[in-house]
Structure 1
Amino acid sequence: MGCVHKLDGVTAVPHQTAHHLPPLKQQISSCPTSLVPVYYPQAHMRDNTTILQGEVAMKVSCLQENLAKGLNIVSRAVSTRSMLPVLANVLLETDNGRLKLSATNLEIVVTAWIGAKVEEEGSITVPSRTFGDLVGALPQDRVDLVLNEQTQTIHVTCGRTEANIKGIDAQEFPLVPQPDQDNRIRVETAVLKQMISQVALAAATDDTRPTLTGVSTHFEESKMLMAATDGFRLSLRSAHIPGYVEKPVDIIIPARALIELARIASDDNDAVYISMPEGRNQVVFDMDNVVLVSQLINETFPDYTPIIPKKMHTRTVLSTAEFRSACKRAEIFARESSHTARVRIEPGDELSPGSAVIAATSTETGDSVAPIDADVDGESIEIAFNVKYMTDVLSVIDTPQVALETTNPMEPGVIKPVGDNDFVHIIMPMHFGR
């Protein structure tokens, strides 16, 4: 059975060996040195060594807002269930005059760099929740971090606030994979984030069929195609990409990793660079000062082409906003009936426009009926869908109008943004009593 394997190289390899790997010079050379503008006061760092009574192994200062933002980026990759205590920690490490933050759950690794003033090189892992809560509660001022190597305690000073946090030696932290700068594929950030939002929603959320928890991703020439299905719905999204991919690439990326990527990818970044390092069964997403590495699902994605209807009998064009609102109201009353809602479509005539009526009934709470004016081309039809799925897809369509294409009550319905041929969403119908 296919599954999301643990990241290659993220085992009991001492972290200190990472210092011998090539630095990310190419990735960061053209990037700003921090996540937000940095200002360092002229005063020197406070001398905290007298407080820690031990050998200082790391001495760094940075701005609270930078540190908080960096921790927010990496914190979602922290493991909350692992038997290894170090996986609940964030790795803090000096790197070429900056502070590097890393976290992993052994399925994804997220790394972020922030601007810093480094007086002593070093590294330490600290509890993500404790350190994150502390930094979030600090004033917006300079934060001084001083590590006592003997006790593995980091002394935090900001304004008049001082705190000591016990950490775990960085050598116990899994080795963080390094990006491969060769054969990268450039995708515009805004395009990739929209693709993820429109496709990942259709991926399965349980692991009974691990392959379906992933997003099939295909690169060929100047095209990129993403597809996901949970067996009840199918999302397909294509996009043009700059450059040219000579050899077709087919991979399955865990939907959870893509959702996290969309969360941390800043709109300020023009592009995300995607690479698949040879022999590692991983995908690397490179952004300004942020890198996400995910293990791939090493399986064959099911052939979804038979699901796509080859013909339609009725095409209904509606206002996206009105259709979405009607579905949200119907969803309130459809909860007790497996989210089933009926859609009754009637063509118009010379005197009146066509219509689509979205209705849901609950024996306990009542019912909802919402008629919407529509441009109907074809036959009358009454068909039932999972209205939650309808709401999901309508929430990620930004065109003013949307088209619903149907064949008969037993065949899938197709939803397409009007004027946008890059996105197709297919929903299986539901049975209902008459």
Structure 2
Amino acid sequence: MRLSCLQENLSKGLAIVGRAAASRSTLPITNNVLLSTDEGRLKLSATNLEMAVSCWIGAKVEEEGATTVPAKLLTDFVATLPNDKIEIALSAKKIMTLKCRRFEARMTGVDAKDFPPIPKVEGGVSVKIDVNEFKKGIARVVFAAATDESRPVLTGINAEFDGGVLTLAAADGFRLAVYKMALAEPASQKVKAIIPSKTLSEVSRLITDGEETIGITVDSQKSQILFRLKNIELVSQLLQGSFPQYNQIIPQSHTTRSVIEVAQFLMAAKTAQIFARDGGGIVRLIMTPGGGKAPGRLSITARSEEIGDDQAELDAAVSGEESKIAFNGKYLLDVLSVLSEDQVALEVTGPSSPGVLRPVGTDNYVHVVMPMFVQW
């Protein structure tokens, strides 16, 4: 193998695939990155056996070939080189030499034949979606996925492709987030897949401003999924199992509805969480309807026996009866932090029923939070 490419391009490419390389593994070669020539370009690939990322960069290829070298070693070295042309050559003894201006390094490689094959996702169902909408959808659900491995399906995001709509849902037993978005290219048939939350977080990171659409393919066995961007492909294993029937969890009615400014609600939730951290995470909310010309209000309190307490009052358009509910402060902060709308509606039925948050002006996102049982 003999080729040359720009330091800037190689450094960017290694940063893209490097996170997929295993840091600790029983299979040492998964700590490596695969470099191979592919139709006049340099292809970089890395895998941890659950997820694989490939990236293509421009290169002047003089001699075809492939090798693998430690991902961290190569990434760290290339990142320190000057922004100039890098010449890469592979000897018969599998020693890879890199030259850039007056810098030169040699790295011992492992035969590319020993590298785990990158899965090819063919057949199945393929769709296309606007990247900005997809990134927004990931941000609004991924934090609600479970981190506890006791129920593996809950560590994933349930993706349902149905006609021209993609629905993403995440739940961890204490909260539920559901986001619907339009597909740029509809699905030929209805299909469900549980995508690891780490995979979707990585896809979101890989999306850049220059992209317009992202291609998604779920294979016919529903065991793997492929995300295709301009010069990047990510293949991931899918989680097997049945995702809970989450529609049954979403309350269909409410006795009190409060509409609050998101920025003020977020600020009050942040200050409450400072005290709630030492008070079991409990944040209490009291919704009081207005009377006459007086606006309704939302009272947010948190207290810790050792530190003190905090209270904030916000103007709110409250319809229905006065109501109380308590949430885990972190769950409230998580959802308010991802909203870009000006206002949010909080719908409750009582202190022992789930609370529902919906952005005002859109009907494609709903967030359900289970209440905490407290002494009032």
Q: For each residue in 1:344-395, what CA deviation from the matched residue of structure 2 results, as whole angstroms up to 9, or x when unmatched? A: 1111122421111211112233222121111111111121001111111111
Match of 1:147 among 76, 86, 90: 90
Structure 2 residue runs without a partner (length 5+): none
Q: Is the counterpart of residue 202 in structure 1 residue 144 in structure 2?
A: yes
**Alignment-mate amino acid for residue 323 of structure 1:** F
Match of 1:334 in 2: 276
Equivalent-residue separation in structure 2 for 1:416 and 1:280 (angstroms): 32
**Alignment-mate amino acid for residue 350 of structure 2:** N
Equivalent-residue separation in structure 1 for 2:77 and 2:185 (angstroms): 44
Match of 1:189 among 123, 131, 134: 131
Match of 1:254 among 189, 196, 200: 196
**Alignment-mate amino acid for residue 223 of structure 2:** N
**Alignment-mate amino acid for residue 11 of structure 2:** A
**Alignment-mate amino acid for residue 71 of structure 1:** L
**Alignment-mate amino acid for residue 57 of structure 2:** I
SS for the counterpart of 1:197 is helix
Equivalent-residue separation in structure 1 for 2:181 and 2:302 (angstroms): 36
Q: Is the counterpart of residue 104 in structure 1 residue 47 in structure 2?
A: yes
Equivalent-residue separation in structure 1 for 2:123 and 2:84 (angstroms): 36
Match of 2:335 among 361, 375, 393: 393
Match of 1:382 in 2: 324
Match of 2:12 among 57, 61, 69: 69
Match of 2:374 in 1: 432
Q: Percent identity?
A: 45
Residues 222/292 of structure 1: CA separation in 2 closer, same or farther (3 Å cut): same
Q: For each residue in 1:44-90, what CA deviation from the matched residue of structure 2 results, as whole angstroms up to 9, or x when unmatched? A: xxxxxxxxxxxxxx111111111111111111111122111111111
Equivalent-residue separation in structure 1 for 2:106 and 2:141 (angstroms): 44
Equivalent-residue separation in structure 2 for 1:250 and 1:329 (angstroms): 40
Equivalent-residue separation in structure 1 for 2:331 and 2:253 (angstroms): 22
What are the residue-to-residue correspondences of 1:23-422 with 2, within 5 Å? 58-150=1-93, 152-180=94-122, 183-279=125-221, 281-422=223-364
The TM-score, its normalising length taken from structure 1, stands at 0.84
Higher relative contact order (Cα pairs below 8 Å, separated by 6+ residues): 1
Is this contact kept in 1: 2:67–2:109, CA < 8 A?
yes
How far off is 1:181 after superposition?
7.1
How far off is 1:167 after superposition?
2.1
Q: Which moved more, 1:418-427 or 1:247-256?
A: 247-256
How far off is 1:278 after superposition?
2.4
Q: For each residue in 1:232-284, what CA deviation from the matched residue of structure 2 results, as whole angstroms up to 9, or x when unmatched? A: 00011111112332321111111111111111122311111111222361011
Equivalent-residue separation in structure 1 for 2:124 and 2:222 (angstroms): 14
Structure 1 residue runs without a partner (length 5+): 1-57
Equivalent-residue separation in structure 2 for 1:134 and 1:367 (angstroms): 52
**Alignment-mate amino acid for residue 26 of structure 2:** M
Residues 105/349 of structure 1: CA separation in 2 closer, same or farther (3 Å cut): same
Is this contact kept in 1: 2:126–2:187, CA < 8 A?
no
Residues paired across the two proteins, number: 376
Match of 1:22 in 2: none
Equivalent-residue separation in structure 1 for 2:348 and 2:124 (angstroms): 46
Q: Provide the aligned C-alpha RMSD in A.
A: 1.4
Equivalent-residue separation in structure 2 for 1:363 and 1:160 (angstroms): 65
Is this contact kept in 1: 2:259–2:345, CA < 8 A?
yes
